[in-house]
Structure formats: C-alpha cells, structure tokens
Structure 1
Amino acid sequence: METVNSLDELSFEEAMEKLETIVSRLENGDVPLETAIELFQEGMKLSNLCGGKLELVERKIEMLIESDQGFHKKPFAPANEDKGE
C-alpha cells in the first residue's frame, strides 16, 4: 500500500485513477478480508485527498458576473451553498 506522504504527491487525476482501481477490486469481492481492509483504508485516504484538492481549486476559482456597472469578480460558490443548503 502507498504511504500518506506519497499519496500527497499524487495529482487529482492519479488519485482518482487509483481510487477507481480500488473500488473495482473491492466490488469484485475476490480479495481476502485483510487485503479488503487495507484497500478500504487506502481508498478513504485517496477520497479525502481528492476532496481536499477539489476544495482548494474551488477557493481559487472566481466567476465573472455581469451587472449594470459591468463585469466584476465574485468568489466561486457551489450551487448548493448559494441556496443555503
């Protein structure tokens, strides 16, 4: 299994690919229990890593909004945050 330090160095795409592989192996159900537990733990680390990378990107995104005064910058807010969900 990967160590946390090497997981942190993965790109979002690499982490997602590894996560998809783990999910596929677990869905097949042909891995021993000990291996399944290790795969699940690594999958959770990868999931958290991907979530963190997405949050970081969301904070960096700015949207241009057109108003009567022209265009202005507005920090990115996902649709569910705009609705107070």
Structure 2
Amino acid sequence: MQRIKSEKRVVKEKSFEKALKRLEEIVHQLEEGELSLEESLKIFQEGVNLSKFLTQKLAKAEAKVQKLIKTQQGSYKTEPLDLEKKEEKSV
C-alpha cells in the first residue's frame, strides 16, 4: 500500500514532458519483449499510472484553452474552444 502511494506521488511530481517520455520508454520496453513477466507487469502498471496522469493533464489544459469572441455590441467575451466542431468542418 505504501509503495502505491509513493508511486502516485512520483507521478504527480513529473512534468507532462517527462511523463510522456517515460511512457514512451515503457512502451518500447514492452514491445521488445525481453522483460520477465514480473518486470513487464510492474512497468505496465507504471505505464497505466502515467497514462492516467497524462490524460488528466491534457484535460486540464484543454479546459484552460478558450477563444475570444467579439459580440454584436463590440465587446469581447471568452468561451471554450471547441476543437471537435472545427475538425468536423474541415473534414
């Protein structure tokens, strides 16, 4: 139980870039297939934790991204940037 808490703390202290790089390393190691079952399971779990961390970081960043809209009255307001609508229009 203590080990799991310390692993989560380590994940939270990582930057997005470091976490992504580590996840890429894990994927590469697993694809090579040279690790023992125990080692594979251990780094697989680390990868799952990193994936959750990265997903949360991206969701937070996406929530912060907004677009500036000029209203009919000439003032400005912000609203969430909807990338999905933009992608649908370009397809």
- Per the normalisation by structure 1, the TM-score is 0.81
Moved more, 27-36 or 68-77: 68-77
CA contact (8 A) 1:65 1:72 kept: yes
Aligned length: 82
CA contact (8 A) 1:63 1:74 kept: yes
Partner of 1:74: 79
Structure scoring higher RCO (CA < 8 A, sep ≥ 6) equals: 1
Structure with greater helix percent: 2
SS class of match (2:27): helix
Give the whole-Å Cα distance in 2 for the aligned partners of 1:6 and 1:53. 15
List runs of 5+ in structure 2 lacking aligned partners. none
Partner of 1:12: 16
For 1:64, give the aligned amino acid. L
Moved more, 62-71 or 15-24: 62-71
Give the whole-Å Cα distance in 2 for the aligned partners of 1:58 and 1:13. 16
For 1:48, give the aligned amino acid. K
Give the whole-Å Cα distance in 2 for the aligned partners of 1:57 and 1:76. 11
Give the whole-Å Cα distance in 2 for the aligned partners of 1:78 and 1:40. 31
- Per the normalisation by structure 2, the TM-score is 0.77
1:3 Cα deviation from its structure 2 partner: 1.1
C-alpha RMSD over aligned residues: 2.4
Give the whole-Å Cα distance in 2 for the aligned partners of 1:44 and 1:9. 16
Flag the structure with larger Rg. Answer: 2
Give the whole-Å Cα distance in 1 for the aligned partners of 2:32 and 2:73. 57
